[in-house]
A and B are shown apart, each in its own frame.
Chain A
Amino acid sequence: MFPKGTKRKFSDSGEEPVSSGDQVPAAPSVATRSLTSSYSLQRQSLLDMSLIKLQLCHMLVEPNLCRSVLIANTVRQIQEEMTQDGTWQIMTQALAAAQCPTDRLVATEVLCRQTDAAAQAGQSPKPFSVGGLEEGYHAEEVVMEGDVETEVTMSTLAPVSPQLSSASYLAGPFVMGPCWDEDEEEEEEEEEEEDGECEEDEEDDSEDCVSEGEEADRDHLSPDSRTGEQVFGTFEIKHPAPPPDPALEELFSDVDPSYYDLDTVLTGMQSAPKMGPYDLLESLSSHGPTALSSSSSCRSDLNELDHIMEIIVGS
């Protein structure tokens, strides 16, 4: 009945707490809001649903910017209301207390896409930067090499304090990043729900990736984390290894110490908060304090990378 194969019936049967009346009640006063548990349940499920949608939108070939913005605004609105209620802090504290090992927290760049100029084959995850937090989260490195099946390696630090860990990404100005940003691949990001974007595509070289942090994030946001886990499961980053292009390999065969860096930059992947050349161009002017520690070194490589890109693209 529904385009996306939603299982839920289109009736307000009210069996599940989520759909207890499809109606989201008109905003009652703050006092009454916190009292109505069904309202807050609905609101919570709406929040979860929205975050899943934002996550899923990373899987699309080209996320619809309008849709992403509207969903993000909805999440922000919920967050603001919950902050007014005081339920936001309560929730984050509860989650912080009950959370799993902190190394599953993420405020990182999860590389789910390569902008590989030479890759005719399929979609690969999009570089996604969540970095820039002052708490000193490490960037997550996704190592993807030609023929090697890799896993997501999380080099996350424990956050400064358990309190901060959840509060920092949940509170504060709500930021939804590259979900809608095609040309700016690095964003200040405090919301890890965007991590581990997966991209499903119908082509042969499909790569699935998700970070374990994602599951944890789902846990953090909602006591009922099953939805998130069901959605994301446990994926590994697999590089299905398109047959290596001899020309390409030859091109890079003697670029060694930074072979890895060059490769990752060209393929849009970052180690530490570096950006791809074209992302850098776009965001140089627009970003304020970013996590770009190596931006200056990147800039100098730009011309060289430009040149190489031209060769690859054959323009």
Chain B
Amino acid sequence: VYTYITLRDHRARTWDSLRFVFLFPADIISTVEFNYSGELLATGDKGGRVVIFQHEQESKNRPHLRGEYNVYSTFQSHEPEFDYLKSLEIEEKINKIRWLPQQNAAHFLLSTNDKTIKLWKISERDKRAEGYNLKDEDGRLRDPFRITSLRVPVLMPMDLMVEASPRRIFANAHTYHINSISVNSDHETYLSADDLRINLWHLEITDRSFNIVDIKPANMEELTEVITAAECHPLQCNVFVYSSSKGTIRLCDTRAAALCDRQAKFFEEPEDPSSRSFFSEIISSISDVKFSHSGRYMMTRDYLSVKVWDLNMENRPVETYQVHEYLRSKLCSLYENDCIFDKFECCWNGSDSAIMTGSYNNFFRMFDRNTRRDITLEASRESSKPRATLKPRKVSTGGKRKKDEISVDSLDFNKKILHTAWHPKDNVIAVAATNNLYIFQDKIN
């Protein structure tokens, strides 16, 4: 992805700040997801709300500017609950949102907190029936004896109203915390994964689901590995993958057995013995796994790197990108302040030629798979005036810090970008920085 200006390349692109939205200070954005067309962008937050942005039509006068994203719909998806049996609070935080492919005028999405998945229908209403016989326009009932003639109600245009209604609630299927949901390519089923189990649901059926993976040991004391993420293959509806806290990925085929405890493929990179430390396992824990749009590759994010795997090769990734290698010498401190457990997500661009992931200090990183170029950008108010070009950032690791560089010790570890999303077709990205959502686009020079 062409993210910095080079005078040599006449087709160089720069990343613009298109728009940013300031959400309530109390709410931290917990998930970001474009729909299949890219027209809608959904965000979930810690307060259980879902906010959907819509891409405005580009204006004909200024075709070089993409349209803006504006708030389309806001609704409360999940409420805090209390599990009386265990005396535990169930957070309303939205862990994941996944859109369904659009089949009619309405939009559907799945949103989940730790325990319950909900299917929401978002529909527009821009017409209203007027001219009822039995009631006035303001709703008051008319006296039937006063009615002297009948009329047929007429549909009149009204201000656009976007309604969100819960259509299905998939509950009580997860003992542990749900970390992933993924819609299958058959558009009829989806999977949900918690720390130890993966369930397969039918979108129409809420009272039961199939358990397809169960790694809970008979004796919980023997538990050493948990499921960290899962995803359905984008094209083959019988294939899915799940990643673990030990840095492994298992690809499973649902045709093989009802319970996919034995993987069809097992992806693991051998450990480099020279860099082994007490933190090796923790930093190898995979926080996100994403198939490429083509279905040929998958990408995994661990603490320090992003790896691209060819599904045909299990013994090592085909590409490895270092996100913030300068943190390797700081692992002990990061373990102490728990940052080492941060779960970063990653995403592909529409053509699978670039990948993006977040880091600390509101930095996020993009890697061009073809040119092997990478860039670090910052999502911050200061550097993101509308239409301003983003400046590449650099972290200095050596002793000598150049101008405009920031030293590792000055990084703000409270400002972490865990959630990013890339438009499925265009070079538009959404970056969640705590409670701010940034939307950037590229500008063709």
- A interface, CB within 8 angstroms of B: 1-4, 6, 8-12, 19, 22-27, 42-43, 46, 49, 53, 61-62, 64-67, 69-70, 72-74, 77-78, 113-120, 123-124, 126, 173, 175-178, 180-184, 187-189, 268, 278, 285-288, 309, 313
Q: How long is the Cα–Cα vector from A285 to B281 in the complex, in angstroms?
A: 31
The CA-CA distance from A313 to B245 in the complex, in Å, is: 36
Asked if B329 and A12 make an inter-chain contact with CB atoms under 8 angstroms apart, the answer reads: yes
Verify if B277 is at the interface (C-beta below 8 Å from A): yes
B275 neighbours in A (Cβ, 8 Å) = 26
> Quick check: is B220 within 8 A (CB to CB) of the other chain?
yes
Q: How far is the CA of A10 from the CA of B89 in the complex (A)?
A: 34
Q: Mark B82-94, 1 if CB is under 8 A from A, else 0.
A: 1011111111000
B158 within 8 A of A: no
Q: Are A115 and B87 in contact (CB under 8 A)?
A: yes
Contacting pair A313 B84 (CB below 8 A):
yes
Determine whether the beta carbon of B85 is less than 8 Å from that of A77. Answer: no
CB distance from A80 to the nearest CB of B (A): 11
Q: Which of A9, A43, A70, A183 is most buried by chain B, counting CB atoms within 10 A of its CB?
A: A70
Cβ of B210 under 8 Å from chain A: no
Q: Which residues of chain B (70-99) have a CB below 8 Å from chain A?
A: 82, 84-91
- For the complex, is B371 an interface residue (Cβ under 8 Å from A)? no
CA distance A73 to B277 in the complex (A): 13
**Complex A-B: 7 CB contacts under 8 Å:** A4-B337, A23-B329, A49-B336, A115-B85, A123-B87, A188-B219, A286-B220
Which residues of chain A are near B220, meaning CB under 8 Å?
Answer: 177-178, 180-181, 184, 187, 286
In the complex, what's the smallest C-beta–C-beta distance from A306 to chain B, in angstroms? 11
B221 close to A175 (CB less than 8 A): yes
Contact between chains at A65 and B226 (CB < 8 Å): yes
Would you call B331 an interface residue if the criterion is a C-beta within 8 Å of the partner chain's C-beta atoms?
A: yes
A5's nearest neighbour on chain B, judged by CB, is B337
B223 proximity list for chain A (CB < 8 A)? 69, 180
Complex contact A62–B114 (CB within 8 A): yes
Determine the main DSSP class of B at the interface with A.
loop
Q: Taking the complex as formed, is B224 at the interface, i.e. its CB lies under 8 A from any CB of chain A?
A: yes
B276 at the interface (CB under 8 A from A): yes
Interface members, chain B 327-355 (any A CB < 8 Å): 329-333, 335-339, 341
| Other 9 A-B pairs with CB < 8 A, given A24-B332, A182-B88 | A10-B409, A12-B329, A19-B332, A22-B329, A27-B277, A66-B285, A73-B224, A178-B220, A278-B85
Nearest-neighbour CB distance to chain A for B104, whole angstroms, equals 37
Interface residues on B, range: 35 or more
* Interface of chain A: mostly helix, strand, loop or mixed: loop
What residues on B are CB-neighbors of A10 within 8 Å? 330, 333, 409, 411, 413
Residue B195 CB within 8 A of the other chain: yes
CA distance A61 to B228 in the complex (A): 20
B279 at the interface (CB under 8 A from A): yes
Q: Is the CB–CB distance between A70 and B219 below 8 Å?
A: no
CB-CB nearest in chain B for A116? B87
- Let me know if A3 and B414 touch, CB within 8 A: yes
The smallest beta-carbon distance between B277 and chain A, in angstroms, is: 4
Which of B88, B277, B412 makes the CB contact (< 8 A) with A61? Answer: B88
Bound together, the chains give a CA A188 to CA B221 distance in angstroms of 7
B149: interface (CB < 8 Å): no
Residue of A with least CB distance to B195: A65
> Is B278 a contact of A78 with CB atoms below 8 Å?
yes
> Is B221's CB under 8 angstroms from A176's CB?
yes
Please encode chain B, from 167 to 202, with 1 for each CB lying within 8 Å of some chain A CB and 0 for all others.
Answer: 000000001110000000000000000011000000
Tell me if B61 counts as interface (CB < 8 A to partner A): no
Known: A69-B226, A123-B89. A3 touches B329 (CB 8 A): no
CA distance A309 to B245 in the complex (A): 36
Instruction: Report whether A66 and B226 are in contact in the complex, using a CB–CB cutoff of 8 Å.
Output: yes
CB nearest neighbor in B for A283: B220
Q: Which of B87, B195, B225 contacts A114 (CB 8 A)?
A: B87
Min distance, Cβ A264 to any Cβ of chain B, angstroms? 14
Of the candidates B86, B224, B276, B341, the one having the most CB atoms from chain A within 10 angstroms of its own CB is B86
**Chain A residue contacts of B196, Cβ below 8 A:** 65
- Taking the nearest CB of chain A, how far is it from the CB of B283, in angstroms? 10
